[in-house]
């Protein structure tokens, strides 16, 4: 943008000199340099504070699907990248052994409840001991707990979608054996779409929640979407301390950008943009408002160039 403005000034200067409106003396010869410095110091450098900009991305939460029980997969009814609703079946595990366990515990519980009734009747007739009744009550309680656990395991042989979304990179097939320790598929949660932008630390000082945002994405060339700042993340990886058994290992400290989360005014845009879409976002603060127009023009230039610029 600064090149466009400077070239426009030089073109006007050449026109006025040619029309003899101004003399071509030393001052006008060095005036392009003066204009360049004025634009840099007075507008483009402060624009980073008043309307900071940075790369933006569309993110979605990924859930690793880890089965709660082990067994052989008998059915995988889903297809990769097909929209699913919360509760839809992802795959089924052979329930034979778990169903047999439920039936066995049900039979034991039925017998234990029968014996409890018999001992309780004997106690009411003063021919039985209270200890025997308490022992049978404990046995019944234990079997009921085991039955609840067995039924839970049986129910988990059908693995369902945890939220609205889709399965990606699906490799699981019928006949595979799964365990309750290893993830078997990746589920992309589409119930929430996260928009984030990286802003250099020196430009993030004036960013506040609720400020207007404009963003353009490579996946939607020529379009500029509006939104608002949701939050400025208060921690990044370079500022994270983790417990460990080693002394501090000094590393080169770099001014990594801060991450700003924002929302779009049109919720339908989130559903159209694939996860991983990238672009450029600009945030308009309450400072250096004169630079807002320049930032808007630059952002729209970027949106148009997205038709031909793949990088």
User: pLDDT tens across 249-304, in order?
Assistant: 777 777 889 899 999 999 889 888 988 999 999 999 998 888 898 899 889 999 99
pLDDT at 106 (0 to 100): 92
173 lies in the same domain as 90: yes
The answer to whether position 300 is within a domain reads yes
The answer to whether position 287 is within a domain reads yes
Report whether pLDDT(243) > 80. Answer: no
The answer to whether position 70 is within a domain reads yes
pLDDT at 2 (0 to 100): 61
pLDDT at 309 (0 to 100): 84
The DSSP letter of residue 101 is: H
SS3 77: coil
The answer to whether position 247 is within a domain reads no
pLDDT band at 116 (very low <50, low <70, confident <90, very high): confident
The answer to whether position 270 is within a domain reads yes
The answer to whether position 244 is within a domain reads no
User: pLDDT tens across 12-27, in order?
Assistant: 767 777 777 778 777 6
Specify the number of domains making up the chain: 3
The residues with which 54 forms a beta bridge, in sequence order, are 281
The answer to whether position 167 is within a domain reads yes
90 lies in the same domain as 208: no
219 lies in the same domain as 304: yes
d(CA 187, CA 80): 10
d(CA 199, CA 178): 43
Report whether pLDDT(151) > 80. Answer: yes
Question: How large is the average pLDDT for residues 89-112?
Answer: 93
d(CA 109, CA 310): 67
d(CA 19, CA 159): 80
169 lies in the same domain as 261: no
SS3 78: coil
Mean pLDDT of the chain: 86
The answer to whether position 109 is within a domain reads yes
**Cβ partners under 8 Å of residue 207, min gap 6:** 52, 199, 229, 232, 260, 283, 285
103 lies in the same domain as 153: yes
**Which residue segment(s) compose the domain that 2 sits in?**
1-47
pLDDT at 305 (0 to 100): 92
197 lies in the same domain as 114: no
Q: What is the pTM of this model?
A: 0.72
**What percent of the chain has pLDDT above 90?**
51
Q: Which of 63, 10, 43 is nearest to 189 (CA)?
A: 63
Rounded to the nearest 10 degrees, the angle between the axes of helix 96-124 and helix 130-155 is 160
The residues with which 159 forms a beta bridge, in sequence order, are 91
182 lies in the same domain as 197: no
User: pLDDT tens across 161-193, in order?
Assistant: 999 999 988 999 999 999 888 899 999 998 889
pLDDT at 34 (0 to 100): 66
56 lies in the same domain as 152: no
pLDDT at 124 (0 to 100): 73
């Amino acid at each position: 943008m600064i090149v466009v403005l400077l070239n426009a000034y030089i073109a006007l200067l050449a026109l006025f000199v040619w029309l003899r409106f101004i003399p071509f003396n030393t001052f006008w010869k060095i005036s392009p340099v003066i204009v360049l410095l004025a634009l840099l110091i007075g507008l483009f450098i402060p624009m980073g504070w008043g309307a900071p900009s940075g790369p933006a991305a569309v993110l979605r939460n990924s859930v690793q699907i880890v089965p709660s029980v082990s067994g052989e997969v008998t059915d995988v009814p889903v297809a990769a990248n097909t929209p699913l609703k919360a509760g839809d079946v992802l795959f089924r595990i052979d329930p034979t052994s778990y169903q047999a366990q439920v039936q066995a515990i049900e039979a034991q519980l039925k017998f234990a409840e029968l014996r409890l009734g018999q001992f309780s009747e004997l106690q009411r007739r003063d021919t039985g001991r209270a200890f025997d009744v308490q022992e049978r009550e404990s046995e019944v309680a234990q079997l009921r707990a085991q039955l609840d656990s067995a039924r839970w395991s049986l129910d988990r042989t059908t693995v369902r979608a945890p939220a609205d979304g889709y399965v990606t990179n699906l490799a699981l097939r019928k006949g595979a054996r799964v365990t309750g320790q290893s993830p078997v598929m990746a589920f992309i949660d589409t119930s929430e779409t996260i928009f984030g932008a990286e802003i250099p630390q020196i430009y993030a000082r004036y960013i506040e929640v609720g400020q207007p945002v404009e963003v353009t994405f490579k996946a939607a060339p020529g379009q500029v979407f509006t939104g608002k700042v949701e939050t400025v993340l208060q921690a990044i990886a370079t500022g994270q301390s983790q417990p460990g058994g080693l002394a501090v290992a000094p590393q080169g400290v770099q001014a990594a950008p801060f991450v700003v989360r924002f929302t779009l005014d049109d919720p339908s845009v989130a559903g159209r943009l694939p996860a991983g879409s990238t672009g450029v976002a600009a945030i308009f603060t309450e400072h250096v408002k004169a630079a807002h127009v320049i930032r808007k023009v630059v952002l729209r230039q970027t949106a148009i160039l997205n038709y031909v610029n793949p990088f």
